[in-house]
Amino acid sequence: MPERNNYSLHSGSSVQNSQGRTVNRRLPQTPPQSAFSGKVSKRLSKTQMRFKMFSIRLGLDLPFCLLVLILVTIGLIMMFSASAPVSYYTTGDSYYYLKRQLIFAVFGIIAMIAISYFDYHFFHKLAMPILGLSFILLIAVLFWPGNSEVKRWINLGQFTFQASEFTKFALILFFAHWGAKYFDKTSTFRYGVFPALAVLVPTVGLLALEPHFSGIVIMTLLTAVMMYLYGTKLRWFVMALAGVLVVFFVLLITNKLGYAMERMDGWGQALTYTTNQMWQTTWQTRNSLYAIGSGGFWGLGLGQSRQKFLFLPEPQNDFVFAIVVEELGFIGAIIILGVFGLLVWRGITMSMRAKDKFGALLGMGLTAQVGLQVVLNIFVITDFLPNTGISLPFFSSGGSSLLMLLVQMGIILSISRNANIEKT
């Protein structure tokens, strides 16, 4: 199996041996100098491994798992708090959104644990088919019945999901696959830049047709992250940035961004609106700012938000964190962001110790996606970026995206099982 050698990151470590999984032993031309691998091997005996919780094969990363569970729990509570009035006024049932979200959370967590047992290398093989499926979905969504001006959702009766949610995963998976496969060549244009553009450009094009401006931003950022990780030279980023700017301005001038542009209109003017039109356009952002400002340092207390009473439209979605700040205050926001930060830190450091390059790239990409979404979401609700519709992972209402997110967390946990890192 010579192919495997290409993406085997660690060589000759004890962890590899302990598993039933067959990993090609390479000659010890590289001494086990990895600081991480050395430590782990010293501390964990085989007996210890056997009695570890979740360690049917190898233990999953308990800190990461706990962080995910904490975020899911806090997210559910806060989403419920934020959505209760809207839920009551629109459906007559305060628990409407909670119920749906809870079902998906439960299934999502089960799926997460289950997937953590799967060998993520399975996805290595599936990378290209999944990318293909992503394109099919992106095309299908444009013609899917039920969408009006904005074509983002694929409606399967009870179950609705955003096509771009899948695209994000497909994109990360593709880059992990590609990066791992051609790790030594990715600094070249042919292996590093060209395939990235080949995937990104049609994706962005299809997203622009939906239109889905925030999707474009996230896809582009994720592509950049993955390219950066697999070693694309920095000059390409500079050039790409220039290219993006050019494209952006062309679109700006030709006024093709339509929907996103309309949202951009009120950017930064939520509090300084001058026209009725502006007042209407910036309604959501303004009320988000009011909510955040009302929170102060200590917040109004859990459940005490006033802005959720129909002032802030759809408080259960992208703007849920504004209600969180209103209720839990700046201190609550810092704690939650701290948990997110720990998650990102754990996800990336753990991925660094993944068994192979594919696992490392995939884990980092999926983790970075969570971190980016958190940052972008907060930028949006604080009127730091235009209101473009970026949801907050674990918090924003939306069953399919929560399920998708937890599946991805499951993949990270699966990577962690084989990672050379202390998992308690």
Partner 1 sequence: MAKGNKQRFRQRAAILLSIILVTGFGAAICRLGYLSLAQGSVLSEKAVEQQLKDTTISACRGTIYDTNGKVLAQSATVWQVVFAPAYFKNDTQRQIVADGLAPILGMSVADVLAHAKKNNYFEIVKRRIESDARDKILKFIDKIEKEDGISNVIELIQDYKRYYPYGNFASAVLGFTGSDDQGLAGVEYQYNDYLTGKSGRIITAKNANGMDMPYNYEQLVPAQQGDSVVLTIDETIQHILEKYVQQEIVKDKVINRAVAIMMNVNTGAILGMAVEGGFDPNHPFDIADSATASAIKKLPVAQQSNAIAAAQLKQWRNKAISDTYYPGSVFKIITSSMALQEKVVDDKWHYTCTGSLSPAPGVVIHCSNTSGHGTQNFLKALCNSCNPAFMTIGKSIGAARFYKYFQAFGFTQKTGIDLPGESEDIFFKHDNEPEGYMDAVDLACASFGQNFSITPIQLITAISSVANGGNLVQPYVVSKVLDSNGNVVKATEPKVKRQVISSDVAAQLRSMLQTNATTGGARNGYVAGYHVAGKTGTTEKKDHLQGPDIEDYISSFCGFCPAEKPQVALLVYFDTPTSGAYYGSMVAAPVFGQCMKEILPYLHIEPQYTAEELSNLDIKADSYVGDSVAKAKNSIQNSGLTSIVKGSGDKVVRQIPESGASVPKNGTVVLFTDSKSAGEQVSVPKLTGLSMTEVNRIASMYDLNVCISGASSSGGNTSVTQDIEQGTLVSPGTVISISFANSSSDDSEDIVR
By the criterion CB under 8 A, which residues form the site for partner 1? 9, 30, 85, 89, 183-184, 225, 228-231, 271, 276, 279, 287, 289-297, 306-307, 309-311, 325, 329-330, 333-334, 337, 340-341, 344-345, 348-349, 351-352, 357, 360, 364, 368, 371-372, 374-375, 378-379, 382, 384
Shortest CB 202 distance to partner 1, Å: 25
- Say whether 54 sits in a helix, a strand or coil: coil
Shortest CB 311 distance to partner 1, Å: 5
Residues 6 or more apart whose CB falls under 8 angstroms from that of 98 comprise 76, 79, 80, 83, 84, 87
Separation CA 271–CA 257 (nearest Å): 24
Shortest CB 250 distance to partner 1, Å: 28
Separation CA 418–CA 127 (nearest Å): 20
Q: Give CA angle at 99 (74, 325), nearest 5°.
A: 30
Compare residues 154 and 376 and give the one whose CB is closer to partner 1. 376
Shortest CB 160 distance to partner 1, Å: 26
Compare residues 100 and 306 and give the one whose CB is closer to partner 1. 306
Shortest CB 183 distance to partner 1, Å: 6
Shortest CB 373 distance to partner 1, Å: 10
Compare residues 130 and 405 and give the one whose CB is closer to partner 1. 405
Kindly state the helix (H) or strand (E) to which residue 77 belongs, with its residue range: helix 62-91
Compare residues 160 and 382 and give the one whose CB is closer to partner 1. 382
- The secondary structure of 224-291 as a DSSP string is HHHHHHHT--HHHHHHHHHHHHHHHHHHHHHT--HHHHHHHHTTT-SSS--SHHHHHHTHHHHHHHHH
Compare residues 41 and 187 and give the one whose CB is closer to partner 1. 187
Compare residues 147 and 269 and give the one whose CB is closer to partner 1. 269
Asked if 372 and 221 count as a contact pair (C-beta separation under 8 A), the reply is: yes
Burial status of residue 143 (CB atoms within 10 A of its CB: 0-12, 13-18, 19 or more):
exposed
